Amino acid sequence: MLGVLLAAGASSRLGEPKALLRLGQKTLIERSLQVLQAPFKEEIVVVLGAEKEAVRSIISQEQVEILESQDWALGQGNTLAECMRALAPRKEAILLMLVDTPFVQEKHLHAILEAHQENASQVIISSFRGQSSPPVLIPFEHQHKLHDWKGDKGFGPFWKSHPDICRWISFEEEYRDLDTPEDKKYWQENWEK
């Protein structure tokens, strides 16, 4: 199984690269990789696009494999599709995380992996107080359904159109990503040191 971190977006609403934003002592890319490394060790792929050289400079390349998106400017859907196609030859399940979800913790990934062990053919989706969101675990047998994803389309249309293959794992933490200057202010004011 692979842990995949999408960190390719331009962060146009935020106005600065999300992956390089600091919360406490770490950038979001460093923090996300730390969370992913607990269960995945060296089986991590980071997908880069905008600001790829700046982000790459703070990643230890011994830790991760880097996949450069050619379609990142077309939206998250295109990046996701490109990633799924590029990793398809490995025929492995993928746990996919986004760099702008600082509320995601190691315990969430472990719960998703446990659910996958119970039924390896289900897509496992996180639900944070009722808000469906990555991290998402996608078994190999369902990844082809994302090969033609396009635009700014996230995962919502996927699980709405395939509820029969999906299982939701509920978490108590509040969903709040980091997309806008207001989100940045919230996270910087509420980040535990």
CB atoms under 10 Å from CB of 92, counted, come to 13
pLDDT, residue 5, reads: 95
Structure tokens at 176: 């709040």
Predicted confidence band at 179 (pLDDT cuts at 50, 70, 90)? confident
pLDDT of residue 158: 87
pLDDT over 60 (residue 135): yes
Average pLDDT (152-169) is 89
| Phi then psi dihedrals of residue 125, to 5 deg | -120, 135
State yes or no: pLDDT of 120 exceeds 90: yes
Q: Dihedral of CA 138/140/144/148: which sign?
A: positive
Query: Is it the case that residue 62 has pLDDT exceeding 80?
Result: no
Q: Which of 143, 48, 132 is nearest to 90 (CA)?
A: 143
* pLDDT at residue 126 is higher than 90: yes
State the average pLDDT for the chain: 90
The CA distances from residue 149 to 3, 40, 41, 134, in Å, are: 20, 26, 29, 16
In degrees, rounded to 5, the angle at the alpha carbon of residue 47 between the alpha carbons of residues 46 and 49 is 135
Q: Is the pLDDT of residue 193 over 60?
A: no
Asked if residues 122 and 165 have their Cβ atoms less than 8 Å apart, the reply is: yes
Q: Which domains does the chain have, with CATH numbers?
A: 2-190 (3.90.550.10)
- 128-134 long-range contacts (CB < 8 A, ≥24 apart) are 128/103, 128/171, 128/173, 128/174, 128/175, 129/171, 129/172, 129/173, 129/174, 129/175, 130/170, 131/175, 132/156, 132/159, 132/168, 133/101, 133/175, 133/177, 134/96, 134/97, 134/98, 134/101, 134/104
Predicted local distance difference test score (pLDDT) of residue 152: 77
- Residue 72, pLDDT score: 87
Least confident among 106-110, 154-158, 173-177: 154-158
pLDDT mean over 118-139: 96
Give the number of C-alpha atoms closer than 13 A to the C-alpha of residue 39, restricted to the C-beta side: 21
Give the pTM. 0.92
Prior bond to 181 cis, omega within 30? no
Q: What is the pLDDT of residue 163?
A: 93
What tokens appear for 191 in the block? 């980040």
Confidence of residue 61 (pLDDT cuts 50, 70, 90): low
**pLDDT score of 109:** 97
End-to-end CA distance of the chain: 32
- CB 3 within 8 Å of CB 43: yes
**Average pLDDT, stretch 39-45?**
86
Q: What is the share, in percent, of the chain residues with pLDDT greater than 90?
A: 57
